[in-house]
Structures are given as structure tokens and as C-alpha cells.
Amino acid sequence: MSAAEDVVAEGHQAVEAVPKRAMTLGTGTSLLVLAVLLLVPVFVKNFIIFQMTMLLIYGVAVLALNILTGGSGQFSLGQSAFYAVGAYVSAVLMEHFNVNYALTIPVSAVVCFGFGFLFGKPALRLSGVYLALATFALATAMPQLLKLNFLEHWTGGVQGLVVTKPDAPFGLPMSQDMWLYYFTLAVTLAIYIFSVNLLRSRSGRAFMAIRDNEIAASAMGVDVALYKTLAFGVSAAITGIAGSLGAIAVQFVAPDSYTITLAISLFLGMVVGGVGWLPGSIVGAAFIIFVPNIAESISKGMSGVVFGVLLFLVIYLVPQGARQAASKLR
């Protein structure tokens, strides 16, 4: 419209620059958290163990988004699509091909990596709201694609698939829920360690350079296109693993469990946990799992109002999420 619009102020970027040391916890705190996660299930009921399993699973999914947004500065509302693909890969392999549940996880990671990497290619030309719209389209399309007639033989169509819950191996004296919890915890730990190392590696530095200033990064010799699609691929792979674990834990997959609502929840989880702070993912996951329940228990009719007000409170008190709260404690 006018010349005034041609110039955009310098230093305007969607995602804050978080130094990589501020992205993780210290060793002591990490070990303490791990000890809590290891010991608590021994003392609580099966239902709570199940909820803790879901907490870890959503934590992994939020972590994946955090690598994409907090790490490489790309925004995605399409995480639910990758989650769905992971869940379906596991469910189909387990139910149609009798593959062991643990073996389906690497398969869905590979499939989702490919899917995310390919999706990242056209998304390269888009940023900001445009990327949000593109990923959003992916999220709205996924449940419809899963319902398609010619896939129905594999996916079970609208009805979805029932997944068998695995027993504890080697005759360990554990309930199914508890075994699944420890299994999920092991996978989560592996992914967390992988992610921390990824962000400290050459690739991680490239992600952050792109996040902070794309032009400067390419001037320094970073292959911007490669690393942006790579970030999408890695994020999709981790989300897919979360999806697989989710399918095994819930024992059921259906297209309508993976709508845009899931993607929005994961996004909220990332904001509440702190964009770019990996340990915050678990705090964010706790928020998106428990706060809607709390809101419902306060008032059934007004659960949306209560949820909204609680969310507002959180972002007023700590606009940068749990990361800010944690740095105040330090």
C-alpha cells in the first residue's frame, strides 16, 4: 500500500533466540527428575500409572514440536498428522502383521521421518502464518485421509483398530500398565538424550543459526534448505514415536482421535512449557493432560471458561512458560 510497509523493523523474529545451554537441565536436577519418574509408579494405582504414561508420551510429542519451533524456528500446527501416522503404522503392523510392539516403533520413526522430510520440502518456501496454514491443512486432511475407502482394509475406516496391550516380558512380576510405563520411560529417556545431543551437535547449531537469522546462517555456509527439512523430518520422526507409544497405551486408534485439536494441544503444551526449553515439554504435557480435567471438575458447563482463564493466568505470570519459572527458582 505505501512505502512504509516495505521496511520491516530489524530483529523481528517469531521465535526467541534461546542459547543452547539454556535449553536443558543441569545433571543434578535431571537425575532427581529421573529418580522421581522411576520410583513413583511403585506406590500408585494403575490408573495413575496410565496417566503418567500418557504424560511421558505427550511430553515426547511436545518435545518434537519444541525441536522444530524452539530449535529451528519453524512453526507447525500439523503435529497431529505425524502423530496419527506413527500410531497407525504401529497399529497396522501389530494387528495385521503380528509384529512385536517394540519393533514397530523404529519403523514408524523411519516412516514419519520420510513423511516429515517430504512435507518439509514444499514448506521450505513458506514461513510464519503461511507455514502455519500449510501445516494446518495437513492436520485437517489427515483424519479424512485415514477414513478413505481403499485404505479401509488396513486402517479399519471410521471404526479404527483395536491394539492388543503387551504383557511384561521375561515373566517380570509387573502389571501391563506398569511395564508399559517403564517401557515408555526408557524410550522417552533415549529420545531426550538424543534431542539434547542433537541440539549440541553441528546440526543443532545449524538449526539455531537458521532460527536466529536465516540470511546470516546461509552466508556462513549453512545449507538452509537441507537443515530446515531435516528439522521437519526429525520432529516428525519423534512425534511418530510418540504416536506409536500412544496407540499401544490407549489400545485403540481411530481417525477422529487425531484431529487439529490434538495439534493445538501440543502447541499449547510447548508454549506453557517454554519454547526452546526441552525439559519444559513434560510440564507442558502435564498442562494439556490435567488442566482440562481440572477445569471440568470445577464446573462442567463452564469448563471452557475455566480452561481459558487458567491458560491466561499462566501466560500472564510466565509469558515464557515454565522455562521462566525455572530460571527464577535458580
Residues that bind another protein (CB under 8 A): 1-2, 4-10, 14-16, 69, 75, 122, 125-126, 129-130, 132-134, 136-137, 140-141, 144-145, 147, 149, 215-216, 264, 267-268, 270-272, 275, 301-305, 307-309, 311-312, 315-316, 319-321
Distance in Å, CB of 311 to another protein, minimum: 4
CA distances from 205 to 18, 60, 208, 305 (A): 12, 21, 5, 41
- Please, which residue, 151 or 185, has the CB nearer to another protein? 151
Question: What's the distance, Cα to Cα, between the start and end of the chain in Å?
Answer: 49
DSSP-assigned letters across all residues of 101-131: HHHHHHHHHHHHHHHHHHHHHHHTT--THHH
CA of 208: how far to CAs of 67, 83, 199, 213, in Å? 10, 24, 8, 8
Residue 7 CB, shortest distance to another protein, in Å, is 6
Q: Which is nearer to another protein, 78 or 204 (CB)?
A: 78
Which residue, 169 or 304, has its beta carbon nearer to another protein? Answer: 304
Residue with cell string 538449526 = 207
Alpha-carbon dihedral 44, 48, 52, 57, rounded to 10 degrees: 150
Encoded amino acid at 27, one letter: T
Rounded Cα distance, 212 and 218, in Å: 12
Q: How far is the CB of 301 from another protein (least distance, A)?
A: 5
CB of 230 to another protein, least distance (A): 20
CB of 177 vs another protein, minimal distance in Å = 31
Q: Which is nearer to another protein, 170 or 316 (CB)?
A: 316
Task: For another protein, give the closer residue by CB, 41 or 70.
Answer: 70
Pairing of strands 252-253, 161-162: antiparallel
As measured in angstroms, the least distance from the Cβ of 197 to another protein is 25
Q: Answer whether 112's CB lies under 8 Å from 236's CB.
A: yes
Q: Least separation, in Å, of the C-beta of 69 and another protein?
A: 7
The Cβ-side half-sphere exposure at 188, using a 13 Å CA radius, reads 28
What is the greatest pairwise CA distance in the chain?
73
Q: Which is nearer to another protein, 126 or 174 (CB)?
A: 126
* 330/77 Cα distance (integer angstroms): 32
Place of cell 513413583: 40
**64 or 271: whose CB is closer to another protein?**
271
Cell of residue 22, nine digits: 539454556
